[in-house]
Amino acid sequence: MSPVPHLPLAELGRLLQCDTPPPSASTQTLAGWKMERDDAPIFSYLYRQHQPRRHLEFGTWQGFGTCLCLESCAATVWTLNLPDGEAKFDGSWAYGERVTDESQSPSGAMRVNFGQDEAGPRTYHRTDAASYIGRLYREKHLGHRVCQIYCDSCIWDTAAYPSGFFDSVLIDGGHQAEVVISDTRKALPLLRTGGLMLWHDFCPLPDVIAAAPAVQGVTAAIETLRSELDQQCSALFWIDPSYLLLGIKK
């Protein structure tokens, strides 16, 4: 099967059939890429141009991506996250941070204390679990436009949602190939014709794949799903440069 086509970022407006030019490409190398700095302007552009009314997101974390959508359009966002957070491939925490000032952390955080060192208590919070989930959209008082779903997306029951209910979907939850495959197959029937399907942490470049387990999982999932995606999407492109794969539903 042929590789996923590349779409230069500068041509994104043409694909979306809009006159507003896309953001300039980041000057960072993809090896040093950060979602919050380098992919965020692309996400915001996509949401501004597409103007979804109902957006589905797999993987809330602290709500940064949710806020990008909420602040770029008038959508209501349905977003899923494991209540106790995501694990790495070796079973350790995927997202955590050491806390030096408890007053800056949300109450109800999931924490572990590893004793003390010269800097003080070695307290760590799981930053994609418990009260950290969605904290950013709550702090911005945008929670009234969010339907937060706490569950494993692989067992999420979609029966209550009619076909074509969502205008856009972002797959950015668990990065194991089997999870991405499950999330994609659940989402596609819920996406309307002409809707945007986005996968984060996708990059087809061999050096990036080799260095990033998350990219390995997403890329492997897309390879498995490729024939299904070609059948169900009128367009499927890697936005170059980015960690974004973009599909448009037939």
Distance between CA atoms of 250 and 232, rounded to whole angstroms?
6
pLDDT tens, position by position, 148-192: 999 999 999 999 999 999 999 999 999 999 999 999 999 999 999
Whether the per-residue pLDDT at 138 is higher than 90: the answer is yes
Q: Judge contact between 65 and 134, C-beta under 8 A.
A: no
* All domains in the chain, ordered by first residue: 6-83+133-249 (3.40.50.150), 87-127 (no CATH)
Residue with more model confidence, 119 or 200: 200
72 pLDDT band, cuts 50/70/90, is: very high
Query: Tokens at residue 92, please?
Result: 């350790």
pLDDT tens, position by position, 189-204: 999 999 999 999 999 9
The confidence score (pLDDT) of residue 115 equals 67
Whether the per-residue pLDDT at 120 is higher than 80: the answer is no
pLDDT tens, position by position, 213-227: 999 999 999 999 999
Give the residue among 14, 32, 28, 41 at the shortest CA–CA distance from 244.
41
Which pTM value belongs to this model?
A: 0.94
Name the CA radius of gyration of the chain, rounded: 18
89 pLDDT band, cuts 50/70/90, is: low
Give the count of beta carbons closer than 10 Å to the beta carbon of residue 164. Answer: 14
Sequence-ordered list of residues with C-beta below 8 angstroms from that of 89, at least 6 positions apart, any chain: 176, 213
The confidence score (pLDDT) of residue 214 equals 94
